[in-house]
Amino acid sequence: MTHPVKVRPTDRSPSLKPPLCDFLDLKAQFATIREEVMEAVTRVMESQLFIMGSEVRLLEEEIAALLGAKHAIGCASGTDALILSLLAAGVGPGDEVITTPFSFVATAGSIAWIGAKPVFVDIDPETYNIDPAKIEAAITSKTRAIMPVHLFGLPADLDPILRLAKAKNLVVVEDAAQAIGARYHDRYVGTLGDFGCFSFFPSKNLGGAGDGGLITTENAALDERLRLLRMHGSKTKYHHDILGTNSRLDALQAAVLRVKLRHLAGWTKGRQARAQRYRQLFAEAKLLQQVRLPAIPPPQYEHVYNQFSIRCPERDTLREFLRLAGVPTEIYYPRTLHLQPAFEHLAYGAGQFPHAEAASQEVLALPVFPELQDAHQVAIVATITEFYASRQP
Ligand SMILES: *Cc1c(COP(=O)(O)O)cnc(C)c1O
């Protein structure tokens, strides 16, 4: 047997170290649930029932029960969850929806995709979530909805948003794609607004074996409308009440997600423990002046740490130092939405949302997943310590 030859790319810096760990190690997670997942996949394959059916219905029921939501509707992706919610609320061309410029593109993208206009307001620089105090000034006669995002797994400050929405008769669509299981005043996010939108993209806290999404609502009429919209406007085969689309959640995804849902609470605890450990390690390394850690949420917020993003002005040089040392990092998000070419038509400019823009220049996400080893966390913080030591005059 021959040994595989490791080819060394020639453009590597001589100091480049092998990777310490993955940014997100889904193989490590799979190793802990392989049998359950394979059993579920086999069950669906044996049934050959791939479209809707009991796996989808049971997942919807199980998630509704877990979150304390009246209705849960599976769909094809988190992006579609947002789009279908806006459509079900009757939002369309000429309408405005207020949201944050510091998010994944799908947040404002879903609004623009259905022909409505995303209206941005700046974030709170401590939480990175939409600043509720800035929303009212952005409301016009065309405003129909507010779309807060629970960024990185930290609930947005929903009380003032819900109060304002009620006073102004606006719909609240919660983008909870990064925050399944996060709590705000003892309620799960996604169940406080008119719609809660979830994503099962593999890197989310509850990730499928591909794309998937889900919407929660407390309103029976909206539930029925969402079910029509996701399936060609049809309740009975070949009878189409309204114009809909094809945005079903696959039975295979539902079956895999039902297995993973049973582990979600444990995984969430694992993420929170890793976050806590980072806080301890950064404090011990006396780096709290140099590096700003995610704000410690007040007790009425539960953070589920889809990301652990640190912040510092020298972010790009730190990231390069870490890359050479084999420490994987990511930037969520390097460019705010109001400065993306895709939203050029909205005619926003640099400097309009200074907190969001500064965050996009300074945040850096470190690995934070349940299977991340303590030795890796120790090494990551040691490397960051080394970076700052090397910069001492
Ligand atoms: C992932 C994500 C989405 C979109 O979800 P998909 O399933 O990838 O379509 C929307 N909003 C936020 C904040 C996200 O992180």
**How do residues 41-82 score in pLDDT, each as one tens digit?**
999 999 999 999 999 999 999 999 999 999 999 999 999 999
- Residue pair 385/289 in contact (Cβ under 8 Å)? The answer is no
- C-alpha distances (whole Å) from 301 to each of 121, 297, 305, 365, 382 are 22, 6, 12, 21, 30
Positive or negative, the CA dihedral 301, 304, 306, 308 is positive
CA of 80, closest atom in ligand 1: 9
Ligand 1: residue of 104, 205, 307 to mutate (most ligand atoms within 8 A of CB) is 104
> What is the total residue count of the chain?
393
Q: What is the pLDDT of residue 7?
A: 46
**How confident is residue 40, by pLDDT bands cut at 50, 70 and 90?**
very high
23 has a pLDDT exceeding 80: yes
3-class DSSP assignment, residue 162: helix
177 CB near ligand 1 (under 6 Å): yes
Domain boundaries 28-120+128-261, corresponding CATH code: 3.40.640.10
259-264 mean pLDDT: 98
267 has a pLDDT exceeding 50: yes
Ligand 1: residue of 77, 197, 201 to mutate (most ligand atoms within 8 A of CB) is 201
Distance between CA atoms of residues 86 and 90, nearest Å: 6
3-class DSSP assignment, residue 152: helix
205 CB near ligand 1 (under 6 Å): no
358 has a pLDDT exceeding 50: yes
5 has a pLDDT exceeding 80: no
CA of 285 to the centre of ligand 1 (A): 34
The closest alpha carbon to 20, from 349, 276, 380, 262, belongs to 380
**Residue where the block lists tokens 């806290």:** 205
Q: What is the pLDDT of residue 236?
A: 87
- C-alpha distances (whole Å) from 282 to each of 10, 215, 268, 372, 379 are 35, 37, 21, 17, 12
201 CB near ligand 1 (under 6 Å): yes
229 has a pLDDT exceeding 50: yes
Strands (DSSP E) found in the chain = 71-75, 96-99, 117-120, 143-147, 171-175, 183-184, 187-188, 195-199, 213-217, 234-236, 239-240, 301-302, 308-311, 363-366
State what percent of residues in the chain have pLDDT above 90.
93
6-18 mean pLDDT: 61
Q: 106 is written with which tokens?
A: 């799908």
CA of 204, closest atom in ligand 1: 1
Q: In 89-219, where does DSSP find H-type helix?
A: 105-113, 158-168
Which of 4-18, 41-55, 306-320, 338-352 is the least confident region?
Answer: 4-18
Sheet containing strand 187-188, edge to edge, reads: 187-188, 183-184, 301-302
176 CB near ligand 1 (under 6 Å): no
CA of 77, closest atom in ligand 1: 7
Ligand 1: residue of 86, 175, 189 to mutate (most ligand atoms within 8 A of CB) is 175
For 365, counting Cβ atoms within 10 Å of its Cβ (0-12 exposed, 13-18 middle, 19+ buried), the class is buried
84 has a pLDDT exceeding 90: yes
362 has a pLDDT exceeding 90: yes
Which of 181-185, 231-235, 265-269, 383-387 is the least confident region?
Answer: 231-235
Could you please state the CATH topology (level 3) that the domain comprising 264-390 is classified under. Aspartate Aminotransferase, domain 1 (3.90.1150)
**How do residues 103-138 score in pLDDT, each as one tens digit?**
999 999 999 999 999 999 999 999 999 999 999 999
178-186 mean pLDDT: 97
**Residue where the block lists tokens 């919610």:** 85
Q: What is the pLDDT of residue 1?
A: 41
CA of 388 to the centre of ligand 1 (A): 34
Distance between CA atoms of residues 377 and 275, nearest Å: 10
- Residue pair 102/78 in contact (Cβ under 8 Å)? The answer is no
Q: DSSP string of 258-269?
A: HHHHTTHHHHHH
174 CB near ligand 1 (under 6 Å): no
With a CB cutoff of 8 Å and minimum separation 6, the contacts of 393 are none
183-212 mean pLDDT: 98
Mean predicted lDDT score pLDDT of the chain: 95
Q: What is the pLDDT of residue 169?
A: 98
4 has a pLDDT exceeding 90: no
**Residue where the block lists tokens 């649930």:** 33
Distance between CA atoms of residues 272 and 105, nearest Å: 26
14 has a pLDDT exceeding 70: no
Q: 269 is written with which tokens?
A: 């605890």
The closest residue, in CA terms, to atom 10 on ligand 1 is 106
Domain borders along the chain are 28-120+128-261, 264-390
- Residue pair 297/303 in contact (Cβ under 8 Å)? The answer is yes
The closest residue, in CA terms, to atom 2 on ligand 1 is 177
**How do residues 297-337 score in pLDDT, each as one tens digit?**
899 999 999 999 999 999 999 999 999 999 999 999 999 99
Q: What is the pLDDT of residue 13?
A: 54
Please state the separation of Cα 170 from the chain's center in Å: 23
